[in-house]
Amino acid sequence: MKKLVSLLLCAALLMGMAGAVAEDAVTYTSLYSSEVTTLNYLITSSTNEFGIAANFIDTLVEYDMYGRMQPSLATSWKNSDDGLTWTFTLRQDANWVDGNDEVVAPVTANDFVAAAKYILNAQNASSTADILYGVIAGAEAYYQGTATPEEGAEPAPVQEWDTVGVKALDDYTLQYTLDHPVPYFLSMLTYVNFMPVYEPFLTEKGESFGLATGNDTLLYCGAYYLSEFKPQEIRVLSKNEKNWDAANVHIDQIISKYNKEASAVSPELYLRGEVDSASLSTELTADWLADEEKAAKIHPVRYDTDYYSYFYTFNFDPQFDAIYEPDNWKIAVNSENFRLSIINAFNRVKAKTLLDAENPEMMLYNTITPPYFSELDGVDYTNIGAVAALTERDVNSLNEEAALAYKEAAVKELTEAGTTFPVKILLLYNPNASANNTDQEAQIVEQQLEGVLGTDYIDVVIEAGPSTSYLTARRTGMYGMMNCNWGPDYADPETFTDPFTAGNKYNFMDLSGNPQVEEYYALVDAAKAITNDIAARYEAFAKAEAYLIEHGFVMPFGHGSGGYTASLLDPFSSPMAPFGISSDRYKGQYKLTDYMDTDAYYDAYDAYIEARDAAAAQ
């Protein structure tokens, strides 16, 4: 098999390769099967949607291929002694361009103020407003003052904008004032809710701003602009030649073609050279690895860049059809014994073989916060405090004896509460993720749970979620049990408590009336209150996370990707950060000139680690 030279052997080689590709346009082509519902990055929290915005809009700071923070739209910053006021000096060579890459206006501090004001207007229904008003002084009161009160409730007092801690001191000086010290504030700045927007354009477009109808509903200040967009047909991201850092954009066009059967047809098109990436199921991967010619065209997935945490969760506020007996389910799910019987009967290793048949254990971990996300004095967070005991456990969590013991206790408890058996468990799966074998995973879960616990106790009912707007099913509580995920927004374990906060649209556990939920919230609040002692803060969050898991409110399911991938993107040149939108950016990435096989992957990985360590030592 051919050996590939890593793009990261040295800076000179990188510059040489960049010079070599500058003469000819480099195009990266792929298929997609799920269309975006909006281009409005100020309101979305969908991975599919902000992953596109990551390439359109620059942020104050960014991360390089080694995970190091770098200046971006901000060239420098400082923090006040009390930790509350952050002042940023913006670069003066950044511009907004339209869908023809024509300059419209410079990027100024007011663009960040305008974005914050839009997000904090409750009428705009931004799904990231809570992140903003969770840290910015005066932001929550302002937000509440813009909200429509519930029927019969008094409206919150209207606040003036100057009470909010987001200000443009001049065109190129931006200031954020926090309502409490936030140790991880800088790492928050790469998420969508801290992106800028050009206010005159926002005002001109009104409700049509960011509509997913074409390329003319946005302006762009990032590495790419949307040069063509025909919904359910094609998206073309073209290099923004006016971008301040255009020299570090090495792929000239990102062409994404819509095909509702993308996962099924992309492998053959990849082999024919018609697309540059393809979805591989476990079965297809095994077939390709057994074929020398095909094996030379795929390589392992990088586990160390997968910071999305996957977990199965129970829904405590069922809103599904009566045929699935939501009232009966709500009684059952509030029983800790019932939840733990399910969790102990679940063979996570077997379910993960669908993604990685050779090393499924590598994809599993026993916490919600993934390993390698955050560390303290060289110790990984998952090895700190109460979560350390979880990490030490075998990732094969199947324990039939414990499952049956919990079943016995649950039957006694729930019978007295009026539950009827078998309890129907509405298990929803994502029909758009067929490359990850989500339908087969659901079948394995059904067979495993019913096989251990018996159909006299539970009746697992498998249903495909809606093929369009799949997340609507989760957000509206149309499930009993579901495989969910969460990606971190900033560099602190607090971010992995966000899916379970009061008012969440993941498991709605705050609506359960369960006193254990209040205990968990008290533990989280205590951890959040610690801002000047990171060791104590991490210990406190570890205690809260362990409580959530040990009481069966959620079941960790590890990484969501693994095994092998078919792609011509160099896996070691992409921006890397376990939070925000850095890993969704094409800026800095190279397209390989030949396929990368497994041997070449590990050679390149070794070179990457060597280069990363050398960079860290500088």
User: 534-550 and 515-528 helices cross at what angle (nearest 10)?
Assistant: 160
Tell me which of 269-273, 384-388, 430-434, 452-456 is least confident: 430-434
Q: For residue 95, what are the CA distances in angstroms to 109, 171, 208, 238, 242?
A: 12, 13, 22, 16, 7
pLDDT tens digit string along 68-108? 899 999 999 999 999 999 999 999 999 999 999 999 999 99
* pTM to 2 decimal places: 0.75
* Residues 202, 206, 208: CA angle, nearest 5 degrees: 100
Q: What is the pLDDT of residue 435?
A: 56
Please give the domain boundaries of the chain with CATH numbers for all domains: 39-222 (3.90.76.10), 306-558 (3.10.105.10)
Q: What is the pLDDT of residue 307?
A: 78
pLDDT bin (cut points 50, 70, 90) of residue 434 is low
CA-to-CA distance for 144 and 156, rounded, in angstroms?
Answer: 6
Give me the count of residues in the chain: 618
pLDDT bin (cut points 50, 70, 90) of residue 7 is very low
The answer for residues whose C-beta is within 8 angstroms of residue 470's C-beta and 6 or more apart is 34, 430, 431, 432
Give the mean pLDDT of 445-470.
93
Tell me which of 360-374, 431-445, 523-537, 580-594 is least confident: 431-445
Q: What is the pLDDT of residue 363?
A: 84
Classify burial at 463, counting beta carbons within 10 Å of its beta carbon; exposed 0-12, middle 13-18, buried 19 or more.
Answer: middle
Which of 98, 53, 44, 57 minimizes the C-alpha distance to 216? 98
CA-to-CA distance for 112 and 64, rounded, in angstroms?
Answer: 23
User: Who has greater pLDDT, 73 or 360?
Assistant: 73
pLDDT tens digit string along 557-598? 998 876 789 999 999 999 988 787 888 999 999 999 999 999
* 179 has a pLDDT exceeding 70: yes
User: Who has greater pLDDT, 198 or 19?
Assistant: 198
Tell me the pLDDT of the chain averaged across its residues: 91
Give the mean pLDDT of 13-23.
34
pLDDT tens digit string along 263-272? 899 999 999 9
Residue 12 token pair: 């000179």
Q: What is the pLDDT of residue 47?
A: 82
* 160 has a pLDDT exceeding 70: yes
Give the mean pLDDT of 593-618.
90
Q: Which residue shows structure tokens 């705009």?
A: 124
Tell me which of 125-139, 291-305, 411-425 is least confident: 291-305
Tell me which of 41-50, 342-351, 565-574 is least confident: 41-50
Q: How is the chain split among helix, strand and coil, in percent rounded to 5?
A: 40, 20, 45
CA-to-CA distance for 89 and 76, rounded, in angstroms?
Answer: 5
Question: Of all residues in the chain, what percent carry a pLDDT higher than 90?
Answer: 76
pLDDT bin (cut points 50, 70, 90) of residue 279 is confident
Contact criterion met (CB below 8 Å) for 555 and 368: no
User: 438-453 and 336-344 helices cross at what angle (nearest 10)?
Assistant: 110
CA-to-CA distance for 275 and 280, rounded, in angstroms?
Answer: 14
* 491 has a pLDDT exceeding 60: yes
Backbone angles phi, psi at 227, to 5 degrees: -80, -25
Contact criterion met (CB below 8 Å) for 219 and 198: yes
CA-to-CA distance for 68 and 82, rounded, in angstroms?
Answer: 25
What's the gap between Cα 213 and its chain centre?
Answer: 25
Tell me which of 20-24, 58-62, 122-126, 279-283 is least confident: 20-24
